[in-house]
Amino acid sequence: MNSGFDLPVTVLTLIGIPFILVMLALMLRQWVEEQGGKRAQKRDKKQEIAQSLFWVIPAIVIGLVAWFLLRPLVEGREIKIYYYGILITLGVVAAALLGSAEARRRGFNQDYLWDALFWVVLAGIVGARLWHIFTPPPSMVEQGITTQYYLTHPLDAINIRSGGLGIPGAVIGGGIALWIYCRKRKISFLTWADIVAPGVALAQAIGRWGNFFNQEVYGLPTDLPWKIYIDPLHRVSGYESFEYFHPLFLYESLWNLLNMAILLVVGRRFDKWLKPGDIFYFYLISYAIGRFSLEFLRLDSAQVGGINFNQTFMVVVAVVMGGLIFWNHRPRRADK
């Protein structure tokens, strides 16, 4: 099974250079407006579009000129594009769109979400990579790639193209970035965590299909009709003689889709009962329950002191989040 495809670097830079410059221009625009106190001024749709084009069009022109000048340096070269990366990107976009729709439904300014998106995604990637580094699976430990390995091979630590991202770390990293952003903007972190939680579950559901192309995150051998074939190169040590396994990535993807649907329904049906943070806590509890259960089928789980670290961590998360929901709804003096 092919995990990706080759793309000419000239095509990639033609898209990438203008895109990066447009993003930088929009960030610069935001900073200039904030410094000048224009952020709070109301503009109609036409004025907003005209103001955006004032920044975007020069960035695109400069990007095309830069591409034309750099083209001789990359002519004839190719770079591999992995389906995993494409699916993660699609997941991020889907999460942002769903979060934007949720913010609009609740009557909040969607600009906060889009302003924070870059930093949240960046922190999520860093957190996901750190989680993998500190909790390497047994298959990597057998190859000598432990946490200590990255101390002497720092470049490998940042080489995410070689694989190795942990979802718990992504949630933690993204959550920290969102908390810092909300604190800076003086807006409620728990409220915005509630808004983005269904989208995070959707992003996980989409991103998990990257494991299908990489032939990873599969479970015990099985003969069930929905079994998945794993080629010998990607089989876990000790299971080389088996051909078909549980599609664990599919189970988790479906669980995350269900999680997203439940969060959206609960957010609408019980909006008067819910407190800020409840949807976020429910999301973490549901994800923890699903991940804990599926770890019983997983073959290559990270071990710390002979204990399944991810499974143990999920128990802690579920208990803590349950306690926070209870704390959210505890009887208060005013209620009494």
CA distance 136 to 138: 7
- Please report, for the chain, the start and end positions of each structural domain, with discontinuous segments joined by +: 1-76, 83-328
Tell me: the pLDDT tens digits for 122-153?
A: 999 999 999 988 888 887 887 788 888 888 88
Q: Is the per-residue pLDDT at 183 higher than 70? A: yes
Who's near 64: CB < 8 A, 6+ residues apart? 14, 17, 18
Please state the rounded mean pLDDT for residues 47-70.
Answer: 86
Q: Are the C-beta atoms of residues 154 and 148 closer than 8 Å to each other?
A: no
Q: What mean pLDDT value characterizes the chain?
A: 88
The answer to whether residue 258 scores a pLDDT higher than 60 is yes
* % pLDDT > 90, the chain: 51
pLDDT at 251 over 70: yes
What confidence tier does 78 reach under pLDDT thresholds 50, 70, 90? confident
Check pLDDT > 50 for residue 336. Answer: no
Higher pLDDT, 278 or 306: 278
Beta carbons of 257 and 202 less than 8 angstroms apart: yes
pTM value is 0.83
Predicted confidence at residue 1, as pLDDT, reads 62
> What integer pLDDT is reported at residue 27 of this predicted model?
80
Tell me, what's the pLDDT at 122? 93
Q: Three-state secondary structure along 165-203?
A: CCHHHHHHHHHHHHHHHHHHHCCCHHHHHHHHHHHHHHH
pLDDT at 44 over 80: no
